[in-house]
């Protein structure tokens, strides 16, 4: 186990600034996810932690000691690559044994540890296959086994599931969680899939354009996004430009879609609030009235049936508003006039 | 009902053989023409030779092979001669004589080892390290690729004379050598060939290194591997298919080379190589279909084919490069450590400089009056070059070569486009056969084709025809064009095949789906997209056709007024010493042609000038 501290890391590639001063602290035994769209710098940050890139500014600490200048082979932060990077000229056994041979582990122990690693990823009996003879999911598990075999202090996973099909991806993500718990190691996980990040992580850092926008548990990030980017990136959201009319006792009154709405929590609003957004999750909206609800009026544009919920796209003035309800008592058609109800308490105000 | 069943069955047959869904004249022609051309002009002549070699007193027999294998001249496990002779003035090194067949094999093996060592080392240095002067290295490394048949080997011979530049530097100037060493004979052939062919290993290996997914090395480093261990366990094994391909080509090229043995022919041991023996017997027994030559040619062919078959199998088994793509692609270079700098500048640089001495020597020879007594040439002159331009009796050889090579390229392009198209786009029984046949000529030694053609055209054409090598009115032109088109086809065919692979079949299918015929889809969509590959391949084939030797100096020499320039170069190199300057001037013309091709292909096609690859 190991703690990781990243302190003001800046990385430039030519003109492009991939990381603009990133600081993070990752605890013992935590599964920590770097989440963000492609090009946000998450892989670069992971490679800096692995020692495959060096920061232009800032330091990296493992357990409090500075590892910034250590080479990748001196760090013991083992990376599983997005494309698995299995050596095609070696069998599964040789691939997994490689790191152990480098560490001069005795022969018998290598055998034992390769066997255990294969058990852990449920690939017993595949020792003599070559990587090309394996399916994508199997290759992925060999890559994981190869990393686990060396018993790393810190395991780094770079979009390990992105090349798998949807079903396998969900299976493997539970596997990774199970293995991480079983071995009790610190894992840093990179993904662009917010659902994967939420399902898997103890904590998530949402990144955008080389900056960390928010760090927190999946619940915190989903329910209390701090920026418009985070609110938009994490799950579906209705985000509408709004004008603040007044803030009193931590409650805001504002104008949105031509309506005056008051009683919106505004504790987090700081300083200048000219560029402000009103946001509410589609599942927090109802089509039936309730006590204390406020309402917008619109027209049904599209109804999509998902099984465990129904999503209705409602056109209000010139914006599309999303509503998710468990099911509909009476089916709605395109063109029907509807009212959407929400509790102002559920509204989150966002700044750019 | 019956007709429907029949129609379905016919369709299935078409699909199985050609891999096309329905009758399609253009597709079938594109199969038939390349197959017929290569069959008639490569397979039939070889079969003709096979028949002669296996016939004795009108019946099938192994007589000629038994006779060859029983003669000490051909195989002598106990070597004759000695490794070196210590004369009062110098140490003379020419190699041991194990008999013709073993000599050829031993030379080819040593050349392959030497070329692989040099080629892989240079490829690794150029791939891994960044150092001041790397750009100069890159340019220097193009120079050994320039081919000047006979003359480059002749220059190697000059360099290693007792009063050559090698001894002048190491004995006279520096004094490392207590006594001059004169290298000649088989050892001379070996050095000349190793210098000429190591770029093949270098280019194939470098291409393999560059194609290694960087994450494969990164992963190994991330798991703790580094330095020599990383090189030994990851980098080299991943490049092995490329190294093996380069080494095998070198082996085949050394085995079939006739230029170096001719340049070194004054040492009689250099004549004791298979190619030279076939050539020598061809010259002395012209007009007579000697079964012993045919048998010797078959043995040479078998050795070369064996090497070729092994590498094709090995390389196809290990297609690594395609496996893991994605992620960031860049070439992982590092700065050398101090001792690596020392190695690069004190060992690698002099080595590179040494390997370009033949080309420098050719140019010096072409522009000098005399280079026989001194370590360096003397007397600048333009006489040789101007003679090529002004003297019609010399100029015609250059014109002949250009005419033959150019015509051959037209044939090559048409056949290669057809063959590469059908073998790439369709999955019939014939598709892999067409593909293999276009590469196959690479494995057939030139002298074998020459002998095969001689027998073939002598037996199928009328006695007084201009195509009959035995006729007094024989014109070697058409046969040379055919020979060039067969021998140099693989370069263009591979380049076009690679191009077609880059273009997804759906592009033509979309055109056909919108109503275009296959012919229009191929000519209008595919061919423009692969124009650069066609051009690049055609230029490579042209350059190699211009410098073709084996067929040129045998069949081409039968009528000197129609002979190509390499035939004339051979005549010059084997006659009195002074005429080597003229041969070098012709070699200089070849160098100019090749440099123009390199510049053209870099400027127009924006591709690196990949000389020889096998995939």
Structure-block tokens of residue A155? 């395991």
Q: How far apart are CA B273 and CA B275, in angstroms?
A: 6
Calculate the average pLDDT of chain A. Answer: 90
Distance from CA of B219 to the nearest CA of A (A): 7
Distance from CA of B326 to the nearest CA of A (A): 6
Mean pLDDT score, A99-123: 92
Among candidates B216, B220, B222 on the partner chain, residue whose Cβ is nearest the Cβ of A50: B222
- Nearest alpha carbon to residue B34 among B418, B382, B428, B391: B418
Q: How far apart are CA A203 and CA A217, in angstroms?
A: 4
Per-residue model confidence (pLDDT) at position B81: 83
Q: Three-class SS of residue B440?
A: helix
- Residues with Cβ within 8 Å of B599's Cβ and at least 6 positions away in sequence, in order, are none
For chain A, the three-class secondary structure string (H helix, E strand, C coil) is: CCCEEEEEEEEEECCEEEEEEEEEEECCCCEEEEECCCCCCHHHHHHHHHCCCCCCEEEEEECCEECCCCCHHHCCEEEECCCCCCCCCCCHHHHHHHHHHHCCCCHHHHHHHHHHHHHHCCCCCCCCCCHHHCCHHHHHHHHHHHHHHCCCCEEEEECCCCCCCHHHHHHHHHHHHHHHHHHCCEEEEEECCHHHHHHHCCEEEEEECCEEEEEECHHHHHHCCCEHHHHHHCCCCEEEEEEEEEEECCEEEEEECCEEEEEEECCCCCCCCCCEEEEECHHHCECCCCCCCEEEEEEEEEEEECCCCEEEEEEECCEEEEEEECCCCCCCCCCCEEEEEECHHHCEEEEC
Closest residue, chain A, to B318 (C-alpha): A89
Mean pLDDT score, A60-85: 91
Structure-block tokens of residue B331? 């070439």
Query: Touching check for A150 and chain B: CB below 8 Å?
Result: yes
- Nearest alpha carbon to residue A61 among A6, A9, A112, A139: A6
Query: Touching check for A41 and chain B: CB below 8 Å?
Result: no
Give the CA distances from residue B519 to residues A70, B425, B494, B529, in Å, rounded to whole numbers and listed in that order.
61, 14, 22, 15
ipTM score here? 0.81
Residue B171: DSSP 8-state: I
Among candidates B221, B234, B326 on the partner chain, residue whose Cβ is nearest the Cβ of A83: B326
What percent of chain B stands above pLDDT 90? 49
Query: Which residues sit opposite A305 in a β-bridge?
Result: A310
CA B608 to chain centre: 18
Enumerate helices (H) and strands (E) in chain B, giving the number of each.
31, 7
Give the CA distances from residue A187 to residues A30, A116, A137, B226, B460, in Å, rounded to whole numbers and listed in that order.
6, 19, 20, 24, 77
Cβ-defined contact of B327 to A79 (cutoff 8 Å) = no
B229 CB neighbours in chain A (<8 A) are 102
Mean pLDDT score, B402-430: 94
Query: Which tens digit of pLDDT belongs to each residue from B305-347?
Result: 999 888 877 776 555 544 444 445 677 788 999 999 999 999 9
Q: How far apart are CA B413 and CA B407, in angstroms?
A: 10
Mean pLDDT score, A157-177: 87
| pLDDT at B186 exceeding the cut of 70 | yes
Instruction: Check if the beta carbon of residue B255 is closer than 8 Å to that of residue B304.
Output: yes
Distance from CA of A116 to the nearest CA of B (A): 18
CA B606 to chain centre: 24
What is the H or E stretch that residue B453 is in? helix B446-460
Give the CA distances from residue B389 to residues A229, B83, B382, B606, in Å, rounded to whole numbers and listed in that order.
74, 45, 11, 32
What percent of chain B stands above pLDDT 70? 94
Q: How far apart are CA B494 and CA B245, in angstroms?
A: 14
Mean pLDDT score, B478-488: 96
Query: Touching check for A87 and chain B: CB below 8 Å?
Result: yes
Cβ-defined contact of B325 to A79 (cutoff 8 Å) = no
Query: Among A83, A104, A113, A140, which would you mutate to test the B interface (most chain B Cβ atoms within 10 Å of its Cβ)?
Result: A83
B215 CB neighbours in chain A (<8 A) are 81, 83, 85
Distance from CA of A80 to the nearest CA of B (A): 8
- Nearest alpha carbon to residue B500 among B481, B520, B527, B461: B527
Closest residue, chain A, to B214 (C-alpha): A85
Among candidates B216, B226, B240 on the partner chain, residue whose Cβ is nearest the Cβ of A85: B216
Instruction: Check if the beta carbon of residue B189 is closer than 8 Å to that of residue B273.
Output: yes
Per-residue model confidence (pLDDT) at position B112: 96
Which residues of chain B from 185 to 224 reach within 8 Å of chain A, CB to CB?
213, 215-216, 218-224
Judged by average pLDDT, the poorest of A176-180, B47-51, B285-289 is B285-289
Axis crossing angle, helix B565-574 with helix B151-159, rounded to the nearest 10: 30
Cβ-in-10-Å burial (0-12, 13-18, 19+) of B197 comes to buried
- What is the maximum alpha-carbon separation in chain B? 95
Which of the residue ranges A5-19, B276-290, B401-415, B459-473 has the most confident prediction, judged by mean pLDDT? B401-415
Q: How far apart are CA A239 and CA A230, in angstroms?
A: 11
Per-residue model confidence (pLDDT) at position A247: 82
Q: How far apart are CA A254 and CA B5, in angstroms?
A: 78
| Alpha carbons within 13 A on the beta-carbon side of A196 | 26
The dihedral sign for the CA sequence B411, B412, B417, B422: positive
B221 CB neighbours in chain A (<8 A) are 52, 71-73
- Nearest alpha carbon to residue B505 among B13, B1, B20: B20
- Nearest alpha carbon to residue B247 among B372, B384, B123: B123
Mean pLDDT score, A280-303: 90
Query: Which tens digit of pLDDT belongs to each residue from B2-59?
Result: 677 777 777 788 888 888 877 788 889 999 999 999 999 999 999 999 998 998 888 8
Q: How far apart are CA B528 and CA A23, in angstroms?
A: 53
Residue B326's region, left for phi above 0, alpha for psi from -120 to 50, else beta, is left
Per-residue model confidence (pLDDT) at position B2: 65
Radius of gyration of chain A (CA): 24
Indicate the pLDDT class of residue B614, thresholds 50, 70 and 90.
Answer: very low
Q: Which alpha helices (DSSP H) does B257-356 contain, by range?
A: 259-263, 274-284, 291-317, 338-343, 349-355
Cβ-in-10-Å burial (0-12, 13-18, 19+) of A308 comes to exposed
Question: Greater confidence, B379 or B559?
Answer: B559
| Alpha carbons within 13 A on the beta-carbon side of B225 | 22
Per-residue model confidence (pLDDT) at position B511: 86
Closest residue, chain A, to B234 (C-alpha): A87
Q: Three-class SS of residue B85?
A: strand
Mean pLDDT score, B533-543: 89
Instruction: Check if the beta carbon of residue B404 is closer than 8 Å to that of residue B484.
Output: yes
Per-residue model confidence (pLDDT) at position B510: 87
Per-residue model confidence (pLDDT) at position B321: 44
Among candidates B213, B224, B325 on the partner chain, residue whose Cβ is nearest the Cβ of A102: B224
Query: Which tens digit of pLDDT belongs to each residue from B566-576?
Result: 999 999 998 87
CA A331 to chain centre: 35
Cβ-in-10-Å burial (0-12, 13-18, 19+) of B478 comes to middle
| pLDDT at A188 exceeding the cut of 70 | yes
Indicate the pLDDT class of residue B613, thresholds 50, 70 and 90.
Answer: very low
Indicate the pLDDT class of residue A120, thresholds 50, 70 and 90.
Answer: confident
Q: How far apart are CA A117 and CA A147, in angstroms?
A: 9
Q: Which residue shows structure tokens 């308490």?
A: A345
Query: Touching check for A50 and chain B: CB below 8 Å?
Result: yes
Question: Greater confidence, B170 or A126?
Answer: A126
Cβ-defined contact of A85 to B326 (cutoff 8 Å) = no
Which of the residue ranges B103-112, B513-522, B603-612 has the most confident prediction, judged by mean pLDDT? B103-112
B216 CB neighbours in chain A (<8 A) are 85, 87
Among candidates A73, A76, A150 on the partner chain, residue whose Cβ is nearest the Cβ of B221: A73
What is the H or E stretch that residue B369 is in? strand B368-370
Size of interface A-B (CB pairs under 8 A): 79
Structure-block tokens of residue A199? 């399902």
Calculate the average pLDDT of chain B. Answer: 88
Strand A4-13 to A319-325 pairing: unpaired
Mean pLDDT score, A188-209: 94
Per-residue model confidence (pLDDT) at position B1: 55
Cβ-defined contact of A89 to B326 (cutoff 8 Å) = no
């Amino acid at each position: 186990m190991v703690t990781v501290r990243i302190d003001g890391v800046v990385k430039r590639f030519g003109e492009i600034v991939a990381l603009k001063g990133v600081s993070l602290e990752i605890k013992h035994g935590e599964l920590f996810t770097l989440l963000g769209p492609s090009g946000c710098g998450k892989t670069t940050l992971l490679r800096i932690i692995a020692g495959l890139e060096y920061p232009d500014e800032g330091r990296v600490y493992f357990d409090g000691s500075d590892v910034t200048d250590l080479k990748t082979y001196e760090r013991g932060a083992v990376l599983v690559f997005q494309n698995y990077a299995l050596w095609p000229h070696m069998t599964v056994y040789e691939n997994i044994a490689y790191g152990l041979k480098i560490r001069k582990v005795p022969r018998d122990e290598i055998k034992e540890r390769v066997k255990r690693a294969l058990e852990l990823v449920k690939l017993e009996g595949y020792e003599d296959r070559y990587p090309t003879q394996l399916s994508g999911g199997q290759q992925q598990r060999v890559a994981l086994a190869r990393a686990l075999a060396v018993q790393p202090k810190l395991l780094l996973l770079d979009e390990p599931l992105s090349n798998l099909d949807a079903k396998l991806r969900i299976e493997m993500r539970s596997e990774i969680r199970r293995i991480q718990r079983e071995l009790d190691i610190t894992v840093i996980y990179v993904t662009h899939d917010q659902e994967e990040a939420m399902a898997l992580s103890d904590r998530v850092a949402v990144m955008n354009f080389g900056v960390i926008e928010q760090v927190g548990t999946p619940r915190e990030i989903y329910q209390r996004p701090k920026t418009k980017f985070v609110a938009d990136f994490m799950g579906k959201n209705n985000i509408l430009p709004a004008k603040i009319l007044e803030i009193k006792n931590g409650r805001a009154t504002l104008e949105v879609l031509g309506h005056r709405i008051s009683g919106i929590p505004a504790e987090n609003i700081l300083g200048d609030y000219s560029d402000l957004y009103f946001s509410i999750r589609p599942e927090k909206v109802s089509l039936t009235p309730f006590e204390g609800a406020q309402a917008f009026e619109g027209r049904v544009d599209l109804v999509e049936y998902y099984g465990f919920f129904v999503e209705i796209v409602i056109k209000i003035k010139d914006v599309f508003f999303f509503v998710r309800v468990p099911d509909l008592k009476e089916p709605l058609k395109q063109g029907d006039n509807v009212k959407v109800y929400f509790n102002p308490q559920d509204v989150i105000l966002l700044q750019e | 009902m019956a007709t429907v069943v029949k129609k379905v069955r016919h369709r299935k047959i078409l699909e199985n053989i050609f891999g096309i869904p329905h009758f399609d004249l253009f597709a079938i022609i594109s199969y038939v023409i390349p197959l017929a051309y290569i069959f008639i002009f490569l397979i039939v002549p070889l079969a003709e030779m096979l028949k002669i070699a296996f016939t004795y007193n009108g019946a099938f027999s192994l007589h000629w092979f038994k006779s060859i294998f029983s003669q000490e001249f051909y195989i002598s496990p106990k070597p004759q001669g000695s490794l070196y002779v210590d004369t009062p003035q110098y140490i003379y090194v020419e190699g041991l004589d194990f008999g013709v067949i073993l000599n050829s094999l031993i030379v080819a093996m040593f050349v392959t080892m030497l070329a692989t060592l040099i080629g892989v080392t240079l490829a690794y240095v150029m791939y891994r390290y960044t150092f001041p002067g790397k750009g100069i290295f890159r340019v220097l490394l193009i120079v050994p690729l320039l081919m000047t048949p006979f003359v480059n080997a002749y220059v190697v011979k000059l360099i290693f004379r007792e009063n050559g530049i090698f001894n002048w530097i190491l004995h006279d100037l520096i004094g490392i050598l207590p006594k001059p060493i004169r290298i000649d004979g088989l050892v001379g052939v070996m050095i000349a060939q190793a210098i000429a062919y190591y770029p093949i290993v270098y280019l194939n290996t470098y291409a393999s290194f560059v194609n290694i997914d960087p994450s494969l090395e990164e992963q190994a480093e991330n798991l703790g591997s580094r330095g020599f261990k990383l090189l030994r366990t990851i980098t080299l094994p991943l490049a092995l298919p490329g190294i093996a391909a380069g080494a095998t080509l070198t082996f085949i090229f050394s085995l079939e080379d006739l230029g170096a043995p001719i340049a070194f022919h004054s040492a009689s041991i250099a004549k004791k190589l298979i190619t030279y023996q076939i050539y020598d017997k061809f010259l002395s027994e012209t007009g007579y279909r000697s079964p012993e030559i045919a048998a010797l040619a078959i043995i040479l062919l078998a050795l070369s084919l064996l090497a070729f078959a092994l590498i094709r199998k090995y390389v196809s088994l290990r297609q690594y490069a395609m496996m893991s793509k994605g992620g960031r692609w860049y070439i992982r270079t590092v700065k050398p450590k101090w001792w690596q700098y020392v190695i690069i500048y004190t060992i690698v640089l002099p080595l590179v400089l040494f390997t370009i001495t033949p080309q420098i020597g050719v140019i010096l020879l072409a522009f000098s009056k005399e280079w026989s007594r001194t370590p360096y040439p003397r007397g600048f002159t333009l006489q040789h070059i101007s003679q090529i331009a002004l003297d019609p009796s010399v100029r015609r050889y250059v014109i002949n070569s250009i005419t033959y090579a150019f015509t051959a390229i037209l044939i090559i392009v048409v056949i290669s486009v057809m063959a590469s198209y059908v073998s790439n786009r369709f999955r019939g029984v014939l598709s892999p056969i067409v593909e293999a046949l276009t590469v196959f000529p690479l494995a057939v030694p030139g002298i074998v084709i020459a002998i095969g053609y001689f027998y073939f055209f002598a037996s199928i054409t009328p006695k007084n025809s201009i195509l009959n090598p035995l006729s007094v009115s024989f014109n070697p032109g058409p046969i040379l064009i055919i020979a060039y088109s067969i021998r140099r086809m693989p370069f263009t065919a591979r380049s076009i095949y690679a191009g077609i692979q880059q273009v997804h079949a759906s592009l033509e299918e979309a055109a056909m789906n919108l109503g275009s015929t296959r012919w229009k889809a191929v000519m209008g969509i595919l061919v423009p997209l692969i124009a650069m590959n066609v051009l690049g391949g055609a230029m490579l084939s042209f350059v190699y056709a211009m410098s073709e030797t084996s067929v040129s100096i045998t069949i081409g020499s039968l009528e000197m007024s129609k002979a190509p320039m390499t035939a004339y170069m051979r005549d010059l190199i084997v006659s009195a010493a002074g005429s080597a300057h003229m041969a070098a001037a012709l070699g200089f013309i070849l160098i100019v042609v090749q440099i123009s091709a390199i510049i053209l292909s870099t400027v127009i096609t924006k591709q690196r000038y990949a000389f020889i690859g096998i995939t």
